[in-house]
Structure 1
Amino acid sequence: MTVVLIRLSLSAAIMFVVSKVIGKLQAVKKSDLGLLILLSFFEPFLYFMGESFGLKYVSPTVAAVIVATIPLFSPFAAWYFYKEKLSWTNFTGLLVSFFGCSLVVFDMSSGLSASPLGIALEFVAVLSTIGYAVVLKRMTTNYNGFTIIAYQNLFGAFMFLPFWGIFEAKEALATPFSAEAFAAIIKLAVFASILAFIFFTYSIRKIGINKSNMFINVIPVFVAIFSFFVLKETINSQKITGITVVILGLFMAQFKRKKRWEWKLSSITSAKS
């Protein structure tokens, strides 16, 4: 929790300064403050609470498989709130990608036995991510990504502060300063709490909730690849198969079939040229 609090505080400070300097910081209407607070409650607050406490009761593998269900549940929320639709090809792609993600993270020898409490907490993280995407899409109609993320991280830091004060403040304040650890937190603030959320906000605005959340299943793929090159971990045939299946599912989920008249029009245009 200490790392998350410092990371959010740093990212909020950076975002407010940078956004102000480049002229991207917008004034927030009083009527939208409630939505911004709800956005921050879903993510980072509720997501990190569910995921971090859930990991105390389940393995990272189980957590990764549960998180990979986000794209499977997103279509229901996207349809209910925004009438977003997926073709059968897109939905099949989601299922294929989930299967591939499971192959990447699942160790056949260890199984998936887990605590019901841990599973419930991880599903809190899943639902919070879906809720975050629903509120975020609404916010993108009035505000740019810089403004949204600046306030999101600021409010998120304030939400974590009381819990940090109760559970971790004494231990954290007694811990000696580590330049190496602080440098790592700065990287998390810049890449995970700023850039990742800005890009996600942009994708929600451009391609919607369903197709944006689909890319969550690519995370284990990059973890496996970076672990191979940086940590020298092995990638067995099961993981290679899983990575291939995830990428295949991703293409299927993003596929947009042209209507018949669009094909005819493109054929006529090509013939004339």
Structure 2
Amino acid sequence: MICNKKSILSILPYITALMTNFIFGLSFLFSKKALGVTDPITLLSFRFLTAFLVMTLLIALRVIKVNYKHKPIEWLIGISFFEPVIYFIFETYGLQRTASSLAGLMIALIPVVVTILAAYLLKEKPTPKQTANIILSVAGVILIVVMGSSDSKESSILGIILLLGAVFSASFFNIISRKISIKFTAFEITYFMMFIGAICFNGISIIKLAVNKKLSFYFAPLKSVTFITSILYLGIISSIIAYFLVNYTLSKMEASRCSVFANISTIVSVTAGVVILNESFYWYHVIGAIMILVGVGGTNYYRAKSEESEATNI
């Protein structure tokens, strides 16, 4: 009985990692569906308002705890600028102009860009094998962009550029969050991000409606069942439940190993886009996807190897 319990606990982090990335993979599908009902800013305002209100309720019920006393709040404001504000503006507007399957492939580049930025900002130079895998991933993106430039039905160059903006924004967020993780708990960082997202996007949405004298239309999207289900998924399941799963996984598994599971979200988003939304997926998408995924996996693998080697030498 004890052995069975131990074996279950040993595989549980892998199960939660799979669940987390499956949830993240489907978020592109729900975002795409919601964008068929309303504009990106309205989608973001309701998404983060829902997440903020639910997390506030959890804090009130003492399910989670946060404490910002005598802590450098200015750092939280800084990282919240990159994510969620800049990141989700780029991602959502980019998703509006591209297929969700392609968006999933582009976002998969985040670990690669983090490695590149870490080389300049944190002086963490990539190994030759990491560099080769970075080049492979970038080549995969270039192949998709060049071959798909003539097909404007589902994706556009502007959409891809916006998604690259999201990738760099999320990468800067990851770099900065490493610096402040010793000052704040993961719950405190996430809750503050939801708060900033709710304030910024709702502020923009309300000002926009007020200027156009359409303030009474603020709750109009809630008439759509598709919009409501998308917001519930994005605000609660993707922003809160998935976060709890991430928090548990990271408490039981090294971050370098966790990052490898991120490829699953890409596969899920691509599959959902093609199967459910009937998005086109050409031969160059397949080759480009393989190049990106192999490159991302290789970058993560050799980074983990490098970290293990450094730890052994200490």
Do the structures match in fold with TM over 0.5?
A: yes
Q: Deviations over 1:236-265 (max 9, x none)?
A: 443333333333223311222675xx8xxx
What aligned pairs does 1:247-258 form with structure 2 within 5 A after superposition? 247-255=293-301, 256=305
Q: Which amino acid aligns with 1:151?
A: F
Residue number in structure 1 paired with 2:255: 207
1:252–1:52 Cα change, 3 Å: closer
In 1: Cα distance, 2:89 partner to 2:279 partner: 29
- How large is the Cα RMSD of the aligned pairs? 3.9
Residue number in structure 1 paired with 2:236: 190
Residue number in structure 1 paired with 2:268: 222
Identity %: 24
Secondary structure in 2 matching 1:141 = coil
In 1: Cα distance, 2:84 partner to 2:150 partner: 33
Task: Could you tell me which runs of 5 or more consecutive residues in structure 1 were left unpaired when the two chains were aligned.
Answer: 263-273
The answer to whether the Cα contact below 8 Å between 1:215 and 1:250 also exists between their aligned partners in 2 is no
Q: Which amino acid aligns with 2:56?
A: F
User: TM-score by structure 2 length?
Assistant: 0.63
Residue number in structure 2 paired with 1:148: 189
Q: Which amino acid aligns with 2:169?
A: S
Greater mean alpha carbon deviation, residues 161-170 or residues 75-84? 75-84
- Picking from 98, 101, 105, the partner of 1:60 is 98
Task: Could you tell me which runs of 5 or more consecutive residues in structure 2 were left unpaired when the two chains were aligned.
Answer: 1-40
Residue number in structure 2 paired with 1:11: 51
In the alignment of these two chains, the number of paired residues is 252
1:119–1:128 Cα change, 3 Å: same
What aligned pairs does 1:168-187 form with structure 2 within 5 A after superposition? 168=209, 170=215, 171-174=217-220, 177-187=223-233
TM-aligned CA deviation for residue 119 of structure 1: 7.3
In 1: Cα distance, 2:294 partner to 2:197 partner: 36
Q: Does structure 1 residue 97 correspond to structure 2 residue 137? A: yes
Residue number in structure 1 paired with 2:19: none
In 1: Cα distance, 2:76 partner to 2:203 partner: 19
1:175–1:249 Cα change, 3 Å: closer
1:182–1:175 Cα change, 3 Å: closer
Q: Which amino acid aligns with 2:204?
A: F
What aligned pairs does 1:22-41 form with structure 2 within 5 A after superposition? 23-41=63-81
Q: Which amino acid aligns with 2:228?
A: F
Q: Deviations over 1:85-104 (max 9, x none)?
A: 42221232222233345556
TM-aligned CA deviation for residue 141 of structure 1: 2.0
User: TM-score by structure 1 length?
Assistant: 0.71
In 2: Cα distance, 1:230 partner to 1:113 partner: 21
In 1: Cα distance, 2:227 partner to 2:286 partner: 33
In 1: Cα distance, 2:293 partner to 2:189 partner: 30
In 1: Cα distance, 2:124 partner to 2:279 partner: 40
The answer to whether the Cα contact below 8 Å between 2:111 and 2:296 also exists between their aligned partners in 1 is no
In 2: Cα distance, 1:163 partner to 1:128 partner: 20
TM-aligned CA deviation for residue 54 of structure 1: 5.7
In 2: Cα distance, 1:180 partner to 1:113 partner: 25
- Picking from 82, 87, 91, the partner of 2:127 is 87
TM-aligned CA deviation for residue 150 of structure 1: 1.4
The answer to whether the Cα contact below 8 Å between 1:42 and 1:131 also exists between their aligned partners in 2 is yes
In 2: Cα distance, 1:14 partner to 1:166 partner: 24
In 2: Cα distance, 1:98 partner to 1:200 partner: 27
TM-aligned CA deviation for residue 164 of structure 1: 1.0
- Picking from 89, 92, 115, the partner of 1:49 is 89
Secondary structure in 1 matching 2:183 = coil
The answer to whether the Cα contact below 8 Å between 2:80 and 2:193 also exists between their aligned partners in 1 is yes
